[in-house]
Amino acid sequence: MSNLWRLFFSIIIALPLTFLTLPAHSSPILITQITASDFLELGVDKMRRGDYQEAIKNFNQAIELEKDLAVAYSDRCLAHLQLQDYHQAIADCTQAINFAPDNFEDYLNRGVAHYRQGDYSAAIVDHNRAIALKPYDFRAYYNRGLARVGDEKDSEAILDFNLALTQIPRMTSLLLADIYNDRGLAHLVLQDTQAAMLDFNLAIRLNANDYRAYFNRACACGRNGDDFGAVRDFSQVIRLNPSNAQAYVNRGVAHYRLGYHLAAIADLQKASEYYEHQGKKVAYEKTLDLLKSLREQISFATEIALF
CA distances to 175, 179, 202, 213 from 154, rounded to whole Å, are 20, 14, 19, 18
Q: How does the average pLDDT of the chain come out, rounded? A: 86
Q: How many other CB atoms are found less than 10 A from the CB of residue 59?
A: 30
Distance separating alpha carbons of residues 133 and 152, to the nearest angstrom: 26
- Residue 4 CA to its chain's centroid (Å): 38
**Residues of 69-107 as b/e, b for ≥16 C-beta within 10 angstroms?**
bbbbbbbbbbbbbeeebbebbbbbbebbbebbeebbbbb
Contact 126, 107 (CB under 8 A): yes
User: Which of 208, 151, 213 has its CA nearest to residue 181?
Assistant: 213
Q: Which backbone phi and psi does 153 adopt, to 5 degrees?
A: -115, 65
Residue 303: per-residue pLDDT: 45
Residue 294: per-residue pLDDT: 86
**Helix axis angle, 70-82 relative to 86-99, nearest 10°?**
160
Residue 173: per-residue pLDDT: 85
Give the torsion sign (CA, 279, 281, 286, 292). positive
Residue 275: per-residue pLDDT: 95
Residue 19: per-residue pLDDT: 30
Residue 300: per-residue pLDDT: 54
Give the model confidence (pLDDT) of 2-46 as tens digits: 333 232 233 222 333 333 333 334 444 444 578 888 888 898 899
Distance separating alpha carbons of residues 164 and 222, to the nearest angstrom: 29
Which residues in the chain show pLDDT less than 50? 1-31, 303-307
Q: Which backbone phi and psi does 51 adopt, to 5 degrees?
A: -95, 80
Give the model confidence (pLDDT) of 188-206 as tens digits: 999 999 999 999 999 999 9
Q: Which residues contact 187 (CB under 8 A, 6 or more apart)?
A: 154, 158, 193, 195, 196, 199
Contact 221, 202 (CB under 8 A): no
Residue 22: per-residue pLDDT: 35
Residue 298: per-residue pLDDT: 75
